Structure 1
Amino acid sequence: MSALTGLLYAVLIAYLGGWFSGYWNGNFSLLLFVLTLVTLGYWTAERVYFQPARRRQAQVAADAWEKEQRWSGAEPNPAAREVVAEPHLRQPWWLDWTAGLFPVILIVFLLRSFLFEPFKIPSGSMVPTLRIGDLILVNKFHYGIRLPVINKKIISNHEVARGDVVVFRYPLNPSVDYIKRAVGLPGDEIRYANQKLYVNGKEVETQAQGDFFDDDPGSMRIRPMFTEKLGPVEHKILVDPQPRGQLGPIAAFPYQQNCTYTLEGVTCKVPEGHYFMMGDNRDNSQDSRFWGFVPDENIVGRAFVVWMNFGNPKRIGGIQ
């Protein structure tokens, strides 16, 4: 068993090493699920077989020692008997690092799967709302309870609301998580033209807030900032002074026929069971304008707080 455990740890280290080195995309939910099952197997074997077997061995060793003591005429000492039994009761390393970790891994798996999941912001597509390096928490049950790994909703809760900051599985590569703002709901007509957002034919209200210095790596420039109101949600967006050229899809996507691209921008009719997502950094975000709609089954949860940014602790707080 020690050799098998060592092999499992070697596979785990190789998988994590390749993931963090960029050789393949990891699936942390699946990894955590597998670790829970594996450690559960060890934990069950420990309770059912290995621990009783060690106790029997300890009993045999202690009885043999006590018998020798009596043959020699000495009175057996209970404390000494425990010392003799202790090495046989000791859990081997391969059980300590598997069965011993099961309760911790199970708690993490349940918390991450059904309650809250941490994420780190990797890009500037949501500036100024979220900055590179922000560590955020996502409410996993706000939109309903979903089965781990397969992400199938089994209990409904709130619907995605216009203006929510949502984490979801990227439609073109579901192993990657994206974070954007929900702009269009099922049935909405979304138009983004000449750097203006229209929902169902009505221009979304904005107010100029002066200049914003984006000091994130790779940007380092000043851009106009606006306050935008999507339903009850008021948040800030950035718009480049120089408009981008013609928008266009980066790949074919389902319901692409619902979108019309022109020199001014794009107009899309959001299909049922889907959402239109955009970054708050409007001209520096690859979002639904480029890769299409987000199906409901891809929704992970609602981002609600920045719990830490080690480069700027002042970033801690709620997400608008």
Structure 2
Amino acid sequence: MLSFINSAELFSLILTLATVITGGVFFLDKYRWQPQQEKETGVTDKEQTGWVAQARSMFPVLFAILIIRSFIIEPFQIPSGSMQPTLLPGDFIGVEKFAYGLHDPVFHKTLIPTGKPQRGDITVFIDPENPKIDLIKRIVGLPGDTVIYRDKTLYIKPACNGQKVCPAAYEVPKQFVGVTKFTELGTDLDEYKEHLGNVEHHILRDPNLPEMYSRYYQQPGSPVGEWVVPKGHYFAMGDNRDNSLDSRYWGFMPEQNLVGKATFIWISFTFNHNPDSSCPSWLPNGVRFNRIGAIH
């Protein structure tokens, strides 16, 4: 079973088991072992030592970490450039776990529903193709929407939820900002400001890279580059449009795969990837203080 658990889920499982075990020791000692010992010896308030004392001292800390990580905020590191220019490799973000419901930390079943993803949200979710890893992308299509990506232009036909006149498909507005410092295989990428629902954000496009229609996920009954989002699913895309492996290629993201909503950057590191450097590539060599704060 562990071969199908990603590192974040494995950590949650270990944390939950450790909390349950130390909690069991805590309550057994407090309400059974200690009163029995006091009754037998007549000594009260005796200082505990050994593994029982260690377990009792660890329980409150583990319990607090479990509550915070499972229901409030979980840290996440940006591993790639698929969300540039919004998020950069080396950004460490806070993921709001309660944005889309309170879930149990092991099986991820919804305990209390608190909301649904909105168009434009940046979400962390379990990769539908590889459950061992988590992905971060922007929600583009909601259940029932028709998403069209053609000639590197995004169109959306919102779901018809019982309206007398169903919404028509529209081109998602965007304005050219300019050529950027971001590059891909030596090509300078173009930057656009996009207005996706109520969210204004920036995207990147590679002017030299043709659209990869042959690699797109082909939904039965739909033309290439057009997808109807099923109930209970979402369509997610990276802001670095030509350098993101997302719903265009693997299909739809199930609602049960949601981990949380990305809300803020709490630290951002730079790394030295120069192969001639004596400094390991995994070791930070600088801090981008200007990136700390809310994600826009």
Q: TM-score range by the shorter chain?
A: 0.7 to 0.9
Give the equivalent residue in structure 1 for 2:20.
37
Q: Runs ≥4 in structure 1, deviation > 6 angstroms?
A: none
The correspondence for 1:176, drawn from 125, 133, 136, is 133
Which range moves more in the overlay, 44-53 or 119-128? 44-53
Larger Cα-atom Rg? 1
Alignment deviations for residues 162-211 of structure 1 (CA, whole Å, 9 cap, x no partner): 11111111112334221100000111111111211111232111111112
Give the equivalent residue in structure 2 for 1:285.
244
Q: Secondary structure at the match of 1:257?
A: coil
Give the equivalent residue in structure 1 for 2:180.
212
Matching residue's letter, 1:222: D
Give the equivalent residue in structure 1 for 2:290.
314
Q: What is the rounded CA distance, in whole Å, between the counterparts of 1:91 and 1:258 in structure 2?
A: 68
| CA 1:318–1:259: 2 relative to 1, 3 Å | farther
Alignment deviations for residues 98-148 of structure 1 (CA, whole Å, 9 cap, x no partner): 221110110111111111111111111101100111111111112222222
Matching residue's letter, 2:293: G
Q: What is the rounded CA distance, in whole Å, between the counterparts of 1:247 and 1:274 in structure 2?
A: 22
- Asked if structure 1 preserves the Cα contact closer than 8 Å seen for 2:187 and 2:208, the reply is no
| CA 1:249–1:256: 2 relative to 1, 3 Å | farther
The aligned runs of 1:65-76 (5 Å cut-off) are: none
Give the equivalent residue in structure 2 for 1:102.
59
Q: How many residues get paired?
A: 264
Give the equivalent residue in structure 2 for 1:153.
110
- Asked if structure 2 preserves the Cα contact closer than 8 Å seen for 1:206 and 1:229, the reply is yes
Q: What is the rounded CA distance, in whole Å, between the counterparts of 2:65 and 2:221 in structure 1?
A: 41
Q: What is the rounded CA distance, in whole Å, between the counterparts of 1:220 and 1:243 in structure 2?
A: 12
Q: Secondary structure at the match of 2:220?
A: helix
Matching residue's letter, 1:169: I
Is the helix fraction higher in 1 or 2? 1
- Asked if structure 2 preserves the Cα contact closer than 8 Å seen for 1:247 and 1:289, the reply is no
Give the equivalent residue in structure 1 for 2:94.
137
Shift of 1:49: 4.9
The aligned runs of 1:228-243 (5 Å cut-off) are: 228-243=194-209
The correspondence for 2:258, drawn from 299, 311, 315, is 299
The aligned runs of 1:191-202 (5 Å cut-off) are: 191-200=148-157, 201-202=169-170
Q: Provide TM-score, normalisation by structure 2.
A: 0.79
- Asked if structure 2 preserves the Cα contact closer than 8 Å seen for 1:151 and 1:297, the reply is yes
Shift of 1:50: 4.8
Q: What is the rounded CA distance, in whole Å, between the counterparts of 1:308 and 1:32 in structure 2?
A: 24
Matching residue's letter, 2:291: R
Q: What is the rounded CA distance, in whole Å, between the counterparts of 1:59 and 1:248 in structure 2?
A: 80
| CA 1:108–1:268: 2 relative to 1, 3 Å | same
Q: What is the rounded CA distance, in whole Å, between the counterparts of 1:220 and 1:43 in structure 2?
A: 59
| CA 1:37–1:259: 2 relative to 1, 3 Å | farther
Q: What is the rounded CA distance, in whole Å, between the counterparts of 1:96 and 1:221 in structure 2?
A: 61
Give the equivalent residue in structure 2 for 1:79.
none
**Unmatched 5+ stretches in structure 1:** 1-18, 61-84
| CA 1:126–1:301: 2 relative to 1, 3 Å | same
Aligned-residue identity in percent? 41
| CA 1:59–1:258: 2 relative to 1, 3 Å | farther
2:46 matches 1:91: no
Q: What is the rounded CA distance, in whole Å, between the counterparts of 2:256 and 2:221 in structure 1?
A: 20
| CA 1:304–1:219: 2 relative to 1, 3 Å | farther
Q: Secondary structure at the match of 1:159?
A: coil
Q: What is the rounded CA distance, in whole Å, between the counterparts of 1:288 and 1:179 in structure 2?
A: 12
Is the strand fraction higher in 1 or 2? 2
Give the equivalent residue in structure 1 for 2:213.
247
